[in-house]
Amino acid sequence: MTFLPYGRQSISEADIEAVVAALRSDFLTTGPLVERFEKALADAVGAKEAVVVANGTAALHLAVMTEELSARCAVIVPAITFAASANCVAYCGAPVIFADVDPVTGLITDESFDDALKILERDHHGYRLGGVIPVHYAGRPVDLSHIHDVCGARGSFVIEDACHAIGTVGPQGAVGSCQASNMACFSFHPVKTLTTGEGGAITTHDPVLAKRLRALRSHGIERDPVHFVGLRYDGEGDTGPWVYEQQCLGYNYRLPDLNCALGLSQLQRLPDFAGRRKTLVRAYQAALEETNIPVNWKSSEHDAVFHLFAVNIDFAGLGTTRAAVMSGLRERGIGTQVHYIPVHRQPWWQTHALAQRALPGADCFYQNTLSLPLYADMSDDDPARVIEALREVLG
């Protein structure tokens, strides 16, 4: 039978034609498709501005960088996420304090956020809350109401890690609309709901912030003479069509026209991608109910577009191991993955995070989680096939 990976891209003939057209144009790197993709993405999520970058990690890095954190501005990050959510804070020279998560959904909760904040303010004098990076894990939205209110009262930022959540509508509206945050960061890796090959984006309502993000993604260089401050040649060297100024320290985090061509085409398919994923999730739910195996998955009370179908299985209680289950499923043509090892358990973070402590929700989630295949090109029958194979492996 056809092997089902846990995730993969969906590329149509229209996508291919869009990339070929870009190849035949005058621009392969930065060109007009960058601005077009940014405008279309902002419109799609309901933000005033979108800034596209090389990948989701670059998006998180630049977003945090704009906050100009000091070494005493701690950022709260949930322990269940990809390492980049925390690494982006370390890149900027600021400390991280990890928050626990709900052991079933993997999401930061109001209680776990409050606990991390209480420990920071009680045990780490001289530090302040710089901000929080809530993660919409698997595409399931975090309710940001409480986090937004607490951060607002302290002058702290909220940057949404929305790398899993394009298309999701949560308690504060469409993820990326930044109704309760300063910025939201997306990833367009091939296993995500839509792809640009590699790529990412930051959305915001602040045009001044967007301008700064665009400068930071391109070496900190300014090319508009209106905004020049002068090279101090005091003559022709200060002006001319070739002149540019590096006005801040930036990076080469640009997203080429080639990738934006694919992104524009994929963005037109976002409603179909979202609908397809919702259909497949419903099929999984039905198969789980009919098979009645000891697998736990909590549906979302919001309009979530799931990037991952991550179930909870008590492997130890069933007398097996996750490795054995994954091996048994692979023998039956089913690919799986684990998302994620709690970041606070990673060796580097064990010696660099503030307030090292037990995070039982994160550990429980990790010990029991398994990501089953979920991508747009799966057939209607594939979820039932996966669950039947899982039933066989679990015995």
CATH classification code of 13-269: 3.40.640.10
Dihedral (C-alpha) 64, 113, 192, 47: value to the nearest 10 degrees? Answer: -60
**Token digits of residue 311:** 């179930």
Question: How far apart are the C-alpha atoms of 362 and 344, rounded to whole Å?
Answer: 9
Longest dimension (CA), the chain: 81
- Radius of gyration of the CA atoms of the chain, in A: 22
Residue in the structure block whose two tokens are 């669950």? 387
Q: For residue 232, what pLDDT is reported?
A: 87
End-to-end Cα separation, the chain, in angstroms: 21
Threshold 0.95, pTM exceeds? yes
Question: How far apart are the C-alpha atoms of 106 and 364, rounded to whole Å?
Answer: 9
Look at residue 216 and tell me whether its pLDDT is greater than 90. Answer: yes
Residue 7: closest CA among 141, 175, 193: 193
DSSP code of residue 299: P
Go through the chain and tell me how many residues it has.
395
User: How many other C-beta atoms can be found within 10 angstroms of the C-beta atom of residue 73?
Assistant: 20
User: Residue 64 contacts by C-beta under 8 Å, 6 or more apart in sequence?
Assistant: 75, 88, 89, 91, 92, 94, 131, 133, 159
What is the SS3 assignment for 113-161? HHHHHHHHHHHCCCCEEEEECCECHHHCCCCCHHHHHHHHHHCCEEEEE
Percent of the chain past pLDDT 70, that is, above it, reads 99
Structure confidence by residue, pLDDT tens digits, 357-390? 999 999 999 999 999 999 999 999 999 999 999 9
DSSP code of residue 307: S
Residue in the structure block whose two tokens are 């402590």? 357
- Measured between alpha carbons, how far is residue 115 from residues 6, 99, 110, 111, 123 in Å? 34, 8, 9, 6, 12
**pLDDT-based confidence at 316, cuts 50/70/90?**
very high
User: Residue 327 contacts by C-beta under 8 Å, 6 or more apart in sequence?
Assistant: none
Structure confidence by residue, pLDDT tens digits, 228-273? 998 988 767 777 889 999 999 999 999 999 999 999 999 999 999 9
Active site residues: 192
Structure confidence by residue, pLDDT tens digits, 130-157? 999 999 999 999 999 999 999 999 999 9
DSSP code of residue 92: T
CA angle 180, 183, 189 (to 5 degrees): 120
Percent of the chain past pLDDT 90, that is, above it, reads 95
Higher pLDDT, 233 or 345: 345
Look at residue 174 and tell me whether its pLDDT is greater than 90. Answer: yes
Q: For residue 354, what pLDDT is reported?
A: 97
Higher pLDDT, 230 or 104: 104
* Average pLDDT, rounded, for the chain: 97
Domain ranges of the chain: 13-269, 271-394
Categorise residue 155: left if φ over 0, alpha if ψ from -120 to 50, beta otherwise: left
**pLDDT-based confidence at 202, cuts 50/70/90?**
very high
Fold designation for 271-394: Aspartate Aminotransferase, domain 1 (3.90.1150)
User: How many other C-beta atoms can be found within 10 angstroms of the C-beta atom of residue 208?
Assistant: 10
**Token digits of residue 321:** 């191991």
Q: Evaluate whether 355 touches 123 at the Cβ level (below 8 Å).
A: yes
Q: For residue 237, what pLDDT is reported?
A: 72
